[in-house]
Structure 1
Amino acid sequence: MHVAIIGAGIAGLATAARLAAAGHGVTVLEKDATPGGKLREAVVAGRAMDVGPTVFTMPDVFEDIFAAAGERMADHLAIRRSETIARHVFADGSRLDLFADQKRSERAVEAFAGRRAAAEYREFCLRAKGVHDTLAPIFMRAERPAGPLALVARAGPRGFGGMLRIGAQTTLWRSLAAQFSDPRLRQLFGRYATYSGSSPFLAPATLMLIAHVEQAGVWLIDGGMHRLAEALAGLATRHGALFRYGAAVESVETRHGRVAGVRLACGEWIAADVVVANCDVGALAVGRLGPEAAAAAGPPLPAAERSLSALTAAVVAPAGDFPLLRHNVFFSDNYEAEFTQILRNRTLPSDPTVYVCAADRNERGERPETGPERLFLIINAPADGDTRTFDQREVETCLTAAFSRMEASGFRVDRASASMHLSTPSDFARRFPGTGGALYGRASHGSMASFRRPGARTSLPGLYLCGGSVHPGAGLPMAALSGKLASDAIQADLASTSRSRPAAMPGGMSTRSPATAPSG
C-alpha cells in the first residue's frame, strides 16, 4: 500500500512514522522547506526562534510513536522536566508562579491569596484530574464518538458518575467563578480555554482538564521546539518514508469513486492507495484540494465558529531586569472586555493579555548570557484574516498596548533597539488557507463543539484526516494523537478490505514503494 500524506505538521509526521514503521510505502508532501507545520522557526537578528507552539506536555504520546517503530525518543530528542509551569503577572502588579510540584503551587497560592484560596486550588486540581481521567481514555485517546450518548456509553456504568461531574453543560468561566473566591485565579485558569483557541466565557468547563495536563508536567526541549518536528521526520525517514519539500498539492484525485492519488501544483501526478490530509479541514471544505475532497470535508466552517487567531511578535531586544521565567503571562485588567473586543467587535484588543516565552531563560529564569534576548509574544486575535487586512496602524496600536501592559508590571523591552518578526491573522490566513487565520480549527464553544470536529475517516474512500482541526483537537499532543487515530483507521480498513476480498493480492491492495510510485 502506498500512502500520500499532505502536510508535514506534527499529525502528518506521526502518521508517517507509524505507517512507515508498519511496512507501508509513505510519501510526505510538504509545501514548505522544512517539517513542522505550525511548529515553526524564524530567524530574527541572526538567531533562530520558535514562532509556534512553545509548551511541550504529554511526552508519553510522542514516546509511543518512537516505541511503535522500535526506537526510543530519548535517543533522538533531549527533554527535561521544568520545575516551573509559568509566571503569572496581574494588572494590579501581583505575581503568582505555578510549579510542577502541586504542594509547592499550593503554598504559592496561599502566599498569594490566602489559605482559603489554597484550599480552593487544591479542590480545583482534584476536579481537573477527574475530568482528565474520565475523558482521556474514552475521548482524547479514542476514535471520535458520534455524540454525547455514545460517549456516555463508552464510559459505562462505572464511569457514569464521572461523566456527570465533567461540567460539559456549564462554561469554564461559570465553573471557575463558583470555584475561586479570588478573581485573579479565575482569570489565570480561564486562560486555559485559549489553549484550544476558545473563550473561557463560551467554552465548556471540561477544558479545566488542561490545567491537569500542565500540572502533570511541562518539559523543555534542548535546542527549541522545532527539534521535535525534526526528530519525528527523522524517525519516519529511517523507516522508509520519503519526504518531498516544496511540493504543494493542488488536488486529491479519484478513480471509480475512491482516492487514486494527488496532483501537485507543478502538474506532477502521484499515485496513492490512501491519501491523508494533514491540513486544516477548512482548506478542504473551500475546495483547495479539489471538489471531491471538498464534498468529503463537509461545509466550510462559519467565521463565527472559528477558533482564535493571534498577533505574534518574535523579538530580539535588550530587556529590563524583570524576573522572567521561560513561560510568562501578563494579564489584562478586564478579561471579559478583552474577549468581547475579539469575538464580538472583531478587533484586536486594546488591553491585551500577553504571553511571553523567554527563550533564553531556563525554568528558574536564569540566563547564561547577557545582551539582547529572544522573546516570543502571543496576543489573542479574531480569525478574520481572509476578509480584512490587519493594517500596520491597527497592529502597532495593539503592540504598543501590549508593551505598555508589560511595562506597567515592571517589564520593559527596548523597542527602539529591537529586531522583530510579526505575524498577524492576515499572515496566518495566507499560510493556512481556508481558516481566516484560525489556529485551532473549530472553537470549543458549547457542549457540542467537540463532537462537530471530524474524525479520521471521511465519506470518500481512501481519504483520511489528521491534524489540530480534527478529533481530538488542537495542541501538539492532540495533533499527534490524531495521527495515531488516522494510522489505526487506515490499517483497520486495510485489514477489513483484505478480508472482504479474498481474491486480492496479499495485503488486499497493491504495494508500491515511495521511490517507484508512478508519477507523471
Structure 2
Amino acid sequence: MPDGRVIVIGAGIGGLTSAALLAARGCDVTVVEAADTPGGKVRAIDVGGRMVEAGPTVFTLREIFEEVFGECGASLDDHVVTQRADILARHAWREQRLDLYADRQASEDAIGAFAGAAEARGYRDFSAEARRLYDALDRPFLRRTKTDPLTLGWRMGVGGLRDYATLRPYSSMWRALGGYFADPRLRQLFARYATYCGSSPFRTPATLMLIAHVEARGVWLIEGGLSALASALEGLAKRQGARFRYAAPVSRIVVDNGRAAGVELASGERISADSVVCNADPAALGDGRFGVTATRRVPPASRSLGALVWLANVQSDGFPLTRHNVFFSSDYPSEFAALHAGRQPDDPTVYVCAQDRAANEGQIDGPERLQIIVNAPATGDRAGPSPQEIERCQHAMRTRLSQAGLSVDWTAPTKLLTPHDFERLCPSTGGALYGRASHGWAASFLRQGSRTRIPGLYCAGGSTHPGAGVPMAALSGRLAADCLLRDRASTFAWTRAAMPGGTSTRRAETVATG
C-alpha cells in the first residue's frame, strides 16, 4: 500500500521529477497544476498552426534524467528520442562567425583560426578551469541540499581543500575571463554563460564559469523539444502511480498544528496530505501567495533577468542557422548596464533557436519555427517594458539579425511574450525566468533550499537550489524528494524510540531550514 500522501503543486520539471521519484518509493502522490499541460516554463505555443517551444531550449547533463528514469525502473531512451549536437552553438558578430563544437579539439582549432594561437591556448586553459570548478562542486554542492560556505568546505573534505580555496567567488566572471582571452569577442562569448542563470557577467562570480563545462560535456537535441521531455516525465510518474489534476490552481497551502497538511484549490476543494512539494517559484511563497509565508522574500533588485521572446513560424534566408545561434551586441558593458538600470538595451544580444534544424542541417525549404530571445529587466509586475521600449527592442533585434546576414519574412505569424506574460505564468517574479540572480559571492547560498520554514513543506524548481536550468530543476526535484523521505524516516524513528516517562526532544522535521 502507498505510504504517505504527498501533494505536488506544479507540474514543472522539478515537480514532475519529485512526483515520479516519490511515487516510485511508495508515496501516494497527487500533482495539482494550474495549466492544462505539464512542463511549467517548458511549454509549446501555437503560432501559425505549428507548436513552437516557448521555454528552455538547451538540454544538457543528460545523465541526470537517465538516473531519474533508471530509479523508476525505466530508460530515458525508451521515452524520448535524442541526438547529440555536433555544434554546440553558432556565434556571430555582424559578418564574423565562430562555432563551438562537441569535440573540444575542434573548438580549439576553430578558435585558433578565428582569433589566433594565443587565444586557442587561452581556451584550453579556460576549459580546464571550468572543468575543475564543475568537478569540485558537482557532488558536494549541486547534488546535495543547500549549504553554507563552512559546510561546503567540510563536504569537499581534505582532498578538496585546494579546490575550495580556489573557487573564485570574489572575482567577477568578466574579470576572470580577461585572464584567458585578449580578444574581446571571445571574452564576450564565454561571458554569455552567466545569462544561463539570468545574471550579468559583470556581477556574477567567476565560479560560474563551470557552466561552460556543463555545455561542453554535451548538448542534446530532443525530438519534439523539451516539451516532449516534460510529457515523458509525466508518463513516468503516472506509471509509478502518481495522479495528475490539471486546470486545478491552488489558492492556499493548508497548515495544521504548524505543519503542511494539504492544499485548498481555487474551486474550494481541500485535498489532505502528509507533505507538500511546491514547484512554484519561492518568491510566491515568500509573498504569501499560497496563504503562508514559508520562504524569504526576493527583493526586486535581487531578481534574475527576464526576457522578450518572439515565437515565429517564418521563412528565413542568408545566415546558415544551426539549432542554437547567438548574435552579439557591439557593446556588452553598455548592454548589461542598461539591464541593471531596469531599461531595455539599445543594442541587445539576440539568441535564436531554430527548432527545425539539427546541428548539421543546411537551409530549410519552407517556413521554420524560431524562438528569438532578448534579455529584459524583470519588471513584469510594474510598468515596463512600455510599448515604445518593445518597439525599439524589436527594431534593434531585427537590425542585429540583418547585420549578420539573416533575412526573415516578418510578415509571417509571430507571437511576443514579455515579462508581463511571465509574471502571469509565475506570480511574484516580475517575469524573472531564473529566480534569484547569481550576483555576489553569497548568491548561491541565498537560493531557497528544499526545506522551508514550515515542516512538511518542500520546494522544487529552477528557482531553488541548486540553480537555474532544466537539469538543475530536475536535481531540485530529487533533493526535495530525498529531504521529504529523510524527514519522514527520522520522524518515524523518533516516534518508535519514545518511551513513557522519557525526555522528549524536538523532531527533526520542525527545524527551520528555509
TM-score, normalising length from structure 1? 0.94
Q: Which residue of 2 aligns with 1:450?
A: 444
Q: Which residue of 2 aligns with 1:48?
A: 51
Contact 1:388–1:426 (8 Å) recurs in 2: no
Q: Which residue of 1 aligns with 2:223?
A: 222
Structure 1 residues 65-464: aligned runs within 5 Å:
65-91=68-94, 93-145=95-147, 147-290=148-291, 293-294=292-293, 296-298=294-296, 300-344=297-341, 346-367=342-363, 369-415=364-410, 417-464=411-458
Hey, what's the Cα distance between the residues in 1 that align with 2:375 and 2:449?
A: 27
Provide Cα deviations, 1:394-436, integer angstroms capped at 9, x if missing partner: 2121011001011011112121x22111111111112110101
For the residue of structure 2 that corresponds to 1:262, the secondary structure is strand
Provide Cα deviations, 1:70-111, integer angstroms capped at 9, x if missing partner: 1111111111111110000014x2110000000000110000
Q: 1:503 to 1:136 in 2, by over 3 A?
A: closer
Contact 1:130–1:166 (8 Å) recurs in 2: no
Q: 1:151: Cα distance to partner?
A: 1.0
Provide Cα deviations, 1:39-70, integer angstroms capped at 9, x if missing partner: 01011110011110000000110111111111
1:25 to 24, 28, 34: 28
Hey, what's the Cα distance between the residues in 2 that align with 1:495 and 1:360?
A: 48
Q: 1:121: Cα distance to partner?
A: 0.4
- The one-letter code of the counterpart of 1:128 is A
For the residue of structure 2 that corresponds to 1:85, the secondary structure is strand
- The one-letter code of the counterpart of 1:480 is A
- The one-letter code of the counterpart of 2:439 is H
Hey, what's the Cα distance between the residues in 1 that align with 2:80 and 2:190?
A: 30
Provide runs of 4+ in structure 1 moved above 2 Å. 389-393
Q: What is the number of equivalent residue pairs in this alignment?
A: 495
Provide Cα deviations, 1:239-291, integer angstroms capped at 9, x if missing partner: 1100000000000011111111100001000001001110101111111100x
Q: 1:271 to 1:374 in 2, by over 3 A?
A: same
Structure 2: runs of 5+ lacking an equivalent? 499-514
Hey, what's the Cα distance between the residues in 1 that align with 2:288 and 2:145?
A: 26
Contact 2:173–2:209 (8 Å) recurs in 1: yes
Hey, what's the Cα distance between the residues in 1 that align with 2:131 and 2:444?
A: 19
Contact 1:120–1:180 (8 Å) recurs in 2: yes
Hey, what's the Cα distance between the residues in 2 that align with 1:25 and 1:478?
A: 25
- The one-letter code of the counterpart of 1:168 is P
Contact 2:119–2:180 (8 Å) recurs in 1: no
Provide Cα deviations, 1:7-32, integer angstroms capped at 9, x if missing partner: 00000000000000111100000000
For the residue of structure 1 that corresponds to 2:450, the secondary structure is coil
2:471 to 468, 477, 489: 477
For the residue of structure 2 that corresponds to 1:67, the secondary structure is helix
Contact 2:323–2:357 (8 Å) recurs in 1: yes
Hey, what's the Cα distance between the residues in 1 that align with 2:397 and 2:375?
A: 11
Hey, what's the Cα distance between the residues in 1 that align with 2:56 and 2:447?
A: 21
- The one-letter code of the counterpart of 1:184 is R
Q: Which residue of 2 aligns with 1:513?
A: none
Hey, what's the Cα distance between the residues in 2 that align with 1:65 and 1:157?
A: 30
Q: 1:469: Cα distance to partner?
A: 1.2
Hey, what's the Cα distance between the residues in 1 that align with 2:164 and 2:181?
A: 22
Hey, what's the Cα distance between the residues in 1 that align with 2:312 and 2:388?
A: 19
Q: Which residue of 1 aligns with 2:501?
A: none
Contact 2:319–2:406 (8 Å) recurs in 1: yes
Q: 1:393: Cα distance to partner?
A: 2.5
Hey, what's the Cα distance between the residues in 2 that align with 1:194 and 1:503?
A: 50
For the residue of structure 1 that corresponds to 2:262, the secondary structure is strand
Contact 2:276–2:456 (8 Å) recurs in 1: yes
Q: Which residue of 1 aligns with 2:484?
A: 490
Hey, what's the Cα distance between the residues in 2 that align with 1:412 and 1:391?
A: 27
- The one-letter code of the counterpart of 1:82 is A
Structure 1: runs of 5+ lacking an equivalent? 505-520
Q: 1:503: Cα distance to partner?
A: 8.9
Hey, what's the Cα distance between the residues in 2 that align with 1:466 and 1:453?
A: 11
